[in-house]
Homo-oligomer: A and B are copies of this chain.
Amino acid sequence: MAVKKIGKQTLIFENKPGVSAWAAVVGPMEGQGPLGPFYDMIMPDSLCDQNSWEKAEQKMMQYSIELALEKVNRLPWEMDFLLSGDLLNQIITANFSARMLGAPFFGLYGACSTLAEGMILAGVLVDGGYGDTIGVASCSHHDTAERQLRFPTEMGIQRGQTAQWTVTGGGAYLVQAQGPGVRMTCATVGKVVDYGIKNASDMGSAMAPAALDTIQVHLEDTGRTIGDYDYVITGDLGFQGYDALRMLMRERRMPEDNLTDCGMYVYAGSQDTHSGASGSGCSAIVMGPRFFREMAQWPQKRLLFAGTGALLSPLSSFQGESIPGIAHAIAFEWAEGGADL
C-alpha cells in the first residue's frame, strides 16, 4: 500500500481529489465588500425572508450547497456524504440544513476551522474510494454569533480595535474524484494549541500560535519550504492575528512574504470592521471566490490553506479558561486534465 501519512500529522492524497465546484451566499454587508462580484447570491437583508437570524443562517448554508451542486448538475440526495458545521450551539445550522437536503451527514465542530476540517475528511473519503461526490459546507451569521458568543447586537456594545467582524455568509465546496482543476494533494491535521489568551475580542492572537504550529509541522512533514507555495493563507486571523503570526514567524526566522489571511479580503477599509473578518463562513466565502478563482486564471499557483479556529466558549471563559486554537492545513494545486501534479 502506498504511503498515505508522512511525518506526524500529514496525510497524502495519492489520488488528488478535486474541488469541482463551490458557491458562496452572503449578507448585504459582505456583498458590498471587494469580493461582492464573485458571490453566487447576496441576500437583500440579514433575515433572508425568515423570521429569525438563525433560520436565515440555515437558509444560507442550504442555498450554498444547492448552488454548488447545480454547477455539476447534481441534486442534494446525489451527494454521497455531506460534512458541515457552524458556530451555533449544537451546530443547528448544519443539522437543519442536512434535514432539508436529505444526504448522509457528518456533523463537525471546529469553529472557524470547520471548512478545512471538513475538506480534509472529504478528501480522505474520496481519495480512499468511499464516495465520489462529497459536500462540505461552513457558515456563520454576524447577528446569531454575536448574541451567542459575545453581546446581542441590539445592545450596541462598542467593539475593540482588535475584534473581528463575524461574517454573514456561507460557502459550500464539492470534493470529487475526477476532472481538471483545483486538487488536494496533502493535508496536515492540527493539534489544539493554547498560549493562554483570554480576550474574546482578540481571537486572531488566540489562533495565531495554532496556525504557526500547523504550518511548521506541515513543512517539516513534507520537506517543503514556504517558498514552495505561492500563497500561505490562514483561515481568519484578521489583521491583528496576521501581525501576531508574522511576528511569531520572524522569531523563528521563517520567511513570511507570501503569507496572507482570509479575514483581510471580505470587507473594504471603509466598512470599519476593525481587525477584519472572522466566523466559520469567512474562509468559506474567500477560498473559492478569491483564491480558487485565481488558480483557474493562473494555473501554476500552489496554495497552502491553514484554516484556523478559536475554540471559544462563553461557558469555559466564565469558568476562567483561556481560548485554545486549532489549525488544519491543506495543499491545493492545479491540474490540467487530471495529470499528475
* B-binding residues in A (CB < 8 A): 1-2, 4-5, 8-9, 11, 52, 54-55, 80-81, 85, 88-92, 95-96, 98-99, 102-111, 117, 120-121, 124-125, 127-131, 148, 189-194, 311-316, 319, 321, 324, 326
Contacts and interface: CB of A to CB of B under 8 A. Distances in A.
B106 A108 contact: yes
B5 A90 contact: no
Number of copies: 2
Contacts of A110: 106-107
A90 B312 contact: yes
23 contacts: A2-B129, A4-B129, A9-B104, A54-B319, A89-B314, A90-B111, A90-B312, A91-B109, A96-B192, A96-B321, A98-B191, A102-B191, A104-B190, A104-B191, A105-B191, A105-B192, A106-B110, A106-B120, A107-B109, A108-B109, A124-B130, A127-B128, A128-B128
B105 A326 contact: yes
Nearest to A95: B311
Nearest to A107: B109
A112 to B, nearest CB: 12
Given A105-B191, A321-B96, A88 B124 contact: no
A193 B326 CA distance: 31
A128 B117 contact: no
A286 B95 CA distance: 26
A81 B11 CA distance: 11
A189 B102 CA distance: 12
Given A52-B319, A106-B121, 15 more contacts: A2-B129, A4-B128, A4-B129, A4-B130, A9-B104, A54-B315, A90-B109, A90-B312, A92-B311, A98-B326, A105-B191, A105-B326, A106-B110, A124-B124, A128-B129
B189 A96 contact: no
A133 to B, nearest CB: 11
Contacts of A80: 5
A124 B117 contact: no
Contacts of A121: 106, 121
Given A131-B5, A311-B90, A108 B107 contact: yes
A126 to B, nearest CB: 10
